[in-house]
Amino acid sequence: MSSKSEAASFTVDLARALGAAGEQEYTRLLRVLTAAQGLFALVPVASDFPVEARDALLERLTEDLAVHGIALHVIRLSRERWEVLQALAATAPPPGTPAVLAIVGLEETPGLVLDPGSAPRRPPTLALLNHSRESICAQFPFPLLLWCAPAAFVALQEQAPDFYDYFIGLAEFLYAEPREHIEETLPVGHAVVPSTMRPPDSPAAVAFYEDLLAHHPESSPARARALLGWAEALLGLSTKDMRVPLPQVLKATEEALSILAQDNIPEEMARGRFLMGLILSDLPTDDRNTNLWQAIACYEAALQVYTEQDFPVQWALTQSNLGTAYQQLPHGDHATHLQQAIACYEAALRVFTEQDFPIQGAMLHHKLGFVYDQLPNGDRELNLQRAITCYKMALRILTERDFPVEWAITQNNLGTIYQALPRGNRQANLQQAIACYEAALRIYTERDFPVDWAMMQHNLGAAYRVLSAGVIRNTRSRPSPTTRQRSEDTKQ
């Protein structure tokens, strides 16, 4: 599988990506670009838009400028094409022609994002812009729109300050829809969900939003969106090695929601509620049960806006997280909570189909398998058979080659279910369990995963012991806490 194939199935709704505040900013940008014809006018665009949304906005800008007889010329930089003066000269029309120049891809040029272990140095594209600023002004008398993703915006200010000071206006486009908070569920390089669903997750993104917050100390929709972006970026940085200050993130989200409530912006309120649900689900306090019920209330409030018909992806993400919150409730009617989780996961699967969102669908099937295995009521045999079906559906995508750890987790879970089946051919079921454990051991080696390896050896030994005795006992072991967190408690 490739990220390209899945991203291709995702259509950007630009109006929703912009939101009400973004529409106002777009109108202002169009007015500035139209009024500055015949002049060099630098307009940096600070934006956390994913590539799909950025290109959709440029297409709309092309059409709207054409109404005024102005052509938009887009200059796409890359690692190979980073000499910005040559790119401008090759693209710009003759002076006096009604036109706007737009530079995109700055973040892809050499040195802008340092490789691990590299010595800090000024990126060559930014050095060239800073050194040649006067020449650029003289040679290209056009409005120049410089699109800056978070890393590029921070670097532009720090590494090309003299060029940056030439700006006549700063445009801000912050993504108005919730991004998926991806934990360490999938190996690096295999998270192929559409980039529209991934928040910027670098330290530069945090600095990007902090800069915007400094520019917007007033209570305004722009500040609210910057607060939500800052919170999402911090959550994106959260790993087992780096824990973000969740109470501080929660406070920022509450401030954003307070501002948005005053301005009555329901779609962005739903985004904030979705984000608050994520934070409350992970908040490190003693009263986890209360936090999860508050998270459930946040997700349900978001679903008042995120309907399946109007916001299918956001609706499915919220249903998935709502199911996870019900699944994790430590107190109360456990069976009812798990049934609620099943209903939410199955609802999300109406959108996250294998064809359109294979990774999301596979992880949901994995969650369903775990919940069916844990159901304390109903027909135990039927629940386990449903769990087996769900895990096998997950394995259609979570293959040993592409997702080795997730594949091994699923093999172990399948093994424990086959070992526990109360009816049927017991010998065949135990042999199936043994095959699953031995498959998992191809990944869970003693050197790389000593705890999981030991657990798997225990499960394997128990299965052989029961097989030789000719009886079934409840001897199975569950995945280690770390493995269970990655496998069953991952938020979609």
| Mean pLDDT (whole number) for 24-53 | 92
271-297 per-position pLDDT tens digit: 999 999 999 998 877 789 999 999 999
Of 308, 299, 302, which is closest to residue 341 (Cα–Cα)? 299
pLDDT at 383: 94
Q: What is the mean pLDDT of the chain?
A: 84
pLDDT at 286: 74
| Mean pLDDT (whole number) for 365-391 | 94
pLDDT over threshold 60, residue 474 = no
Q: At what angle do helices 221-237 and 266-282 cross, to 10 degrees?
A: 30
pLDDT at 467: 81
pLDDT at 151: 84
Question: If you compute the radius of gyration of the chain from its CA atoms, what whole number of angstroms results?
Answer: 26
pLDDT at 180: 56
pLDDT over threshold 70, residue 486 = no
| Mean pLDDT (whole number) for 31-42 | 93
Tokens of 277: 């649900």
| Mean pLDDT (whole number) for 114-121 | 55
pLDDT at 254: 95
CA distance 214 to 248: 17
373 pLDDT tier (thresholds 50, 70, 90): very high
Of 83, 79, 54, 44, which is closest to residue 208 (Cα–Cα)? 44
Count helices and strands (H / E) in the chain.
Answer: 21, 5
94-112 per-position pLDDT tens digit: 999 999 999 999 988 988 8
Helix or strand run (H / E) with residue 252: helix 246-263
pLDDT over threshold 80, residue 243 = no
What is residue 11's DSSP assignment? P
pLDDT at 205: 82
Tokens of 106: 């700055």
pLDDT at 262: 86
pLDDT at 221: 86
pLDDT over threshold 60, residue 480 = no
157-194 per-position pLDDT tens digit: 888 999 998 888 889 998 877 665 433 333 322 223 34
CATH number of 359-487, picked from 1.10.260, 1.25.40, 2.70.98, 2.30.230 = 1.25.40
pLDDT at 395: 95
CATH number of 181-312: 1.25.40.10
What fold, for 1-113+122-176? Rossmann fold (3.40.50)
Contact 50, 195 (CB under 8 A): yes
pLDDT at 422: 84
CA distance 37 to 98: 6
In the chain, CATH 1.25.40.10 sits at: 181-312
| Mean pLDDT (whole number) for 123-131 | 91
pLDDT over threshold 60, residue 370 = yes
Secondary structure of residue 143 in the 3-state scheme: strand
Share of the chain above pLDDT 90, in %: 54
Burial class (CB in 10 A: 0-12, 13-18, 19+), 95: exposed
430-448 per-position pLDDT tens digit: 999 999 999 999 999 999 9
pLDDT over threshold 90, residue 63 = yes
Residue with the bigger pLDDT between 16 and 364: it is: 364
